Structure 1
Amino acid sequence: MSLRILSAATLIAVGLLGDTASAVALSDAAGRYAISNNGSSIRFAIGKIGGGGLNGAFGQFKGTIRIDGGDIGRSRVDLTIFPDSVGTGQGRVDAFLKSDAVFDVANSRQITFRSTSVQRTGDNSAVITGQLTARGHTFTEKFTAELQGMKGGQISFHVSGKVFRSRYQMDVGTPIYSNIVAFDMQFSGRRG
């Protein structure tokens, strides 16, 4: 029942590329963007044998996206998630997720994702590879990002990926609950 987070990973589609109709010049998207909690979300799902499973979200996170207009591969994504903000809509489950069995929020207050490479895969998409750190364990993770819009200094991405909980010592409940955590994230940021 634990989540191996990412971090969103993380995360973010820095490999940005144009509006949804056509690619924009990287010079148009170039800049540093602060991820806003308004219009952004980090959701996760963990499957369960027989159906159902666990769905939740993180309410507090922060990060930046830096798009290099000259070389998209030099772009960066940095994301910090605060696991104490996890919410499933079930108080007992939330308390368990915050306990030392899963996130151990008393000793591990942050989950971080720091990109190491951004590879453009299409006009509006990229794969972001980076280091995800949770509970003192760091592993390389990949997330797919899709640019959804860019207007007036505001940019938005849809980011998804899957992370193995066991890597981060959060695999309590397996095999009844899947070892895979699926992330579905929306990030909105303003240039500045």
Structure 2
Amino acid sequence: MRYATLALAGLTLGQILLPQAVFSKTPELSQAAGTYNITGTSQIRFWVDQVGGGSINGRFTKFSGRFRIDGRSIGASSISFTLYPQSVATAEGRMEDFLRSSAVFHADAYPTVTFRSTAVRQTGDDTAVVDGMLTARGITHREQFSVRLQGLKGNAIAFNVTGNVYRSRYRMDVGTPIYLNVVKFDMDIRGVRQ
């Protein structure tokens, strides 16, 4: 949850990472401008490394969100995102129950984790950094995510978003130091323009 950057950014002059045959040229910012709903085909993956090797790997299967790309200024773009800890999925049911429990997400008392952007900064032709406020377990901290544009076709857009979030900031640091304090996120975000 550290680099929660749905990087609404980098839509000018970028390299498109989807098949080049689909995209004859780099999209102009004005082509990408608009408000997009995040679709269920997005993938929200995370992992926590373990001392000595191995990790806890998981994903969230229920989430929602919306982002707006400003056609004149990336810095005026915004994103809001909600994920539902009850939907956490791993390869093991016992681990899922543990992650939903009061030791980690406390999903019964805090059914959502939210992110609201406060700033978007373009860092390259197809990249950006998104700063914002992340709230989990009723605790809010500023976090940052890196975003890379993967493609734009018609009303559909795709980004890869990465970031690190420190578990201890949200009172989820059970198991440290055996399990590291950092949760790493790798998210493929798909949006459809309204």
**TM category, shorter:** over 0.9
Which residue pairs with 2:119 in the alignment?
117
Is the CA contact (8 Å cut-off) linking 2:4 and 2:131 kept in structure 1?
A: no
- Unaligned runs of 5+ residues in structure 2 are 17-24
Q: 1:65 offset after TM fit, Å?
A: 1.2
**1:144 to 2:146 alignment:** yes
CA contact (8 A) 2:119 2:131 kept: yes
How far has the Cα of 1:23 moved from its partner? 4.6
- Provide the residue aligned with 1:25 in structure 2: 28
Higher strand share: 1
Report the counterpart of residue 19 of structure 2 in structure 1: none
Amino acid aligned to 1:119: R
Q: Is the 8 A contact 1:16 1:29 kept in 2?
A: no
- CA 1:23/1:140 → structure 2, altered by over 3 Å: closer, same or farther? farther
Query: What is aligned with 1:11?
Result: 5
The counterpart of 1:80, out of the listed 60, 70, 82, is 82
How many residues in Structure 1 have an aligned counterpart in Structure 2? 185
Normalised TM-score (structure 2)? 0.92
What percentage of residue pairs aligned between the two structures are identical? 49
Pair 1:35 & 2:30 matched: no
Paired residue secondary structure (1:176): coil
Unaligned runs of 5+ in 1: 1-5
Give the structure 2 partner of residue 180 of structure 1: 182
Per mean C-alpha deviation after superposition, the further-off stretch among 12-21 and 43-52 is: 12-21
2:20 maps to none
In the alignment, the residues of structure 1 paired with residue 117 and residue 176 of structure 2 have an alpha-carbon distance, to the nearest angstrom, of 29
Letter in 2 for 1:71: S
1:17-57 Cα offsets, whole Å, 9 max, x none, are: 1452465321111000100012x110001000110010000
**What's 2:22 paired with?**
none
CA offset digits 1:77-125 (Å, max 9, x no partner): 1100000000111011100000000000110000000000000000100
The worse-fitting range, judged by mean Cα deviation, of 18-27 and 61-70 is 18-27
TM-score by length of 1: 0.93
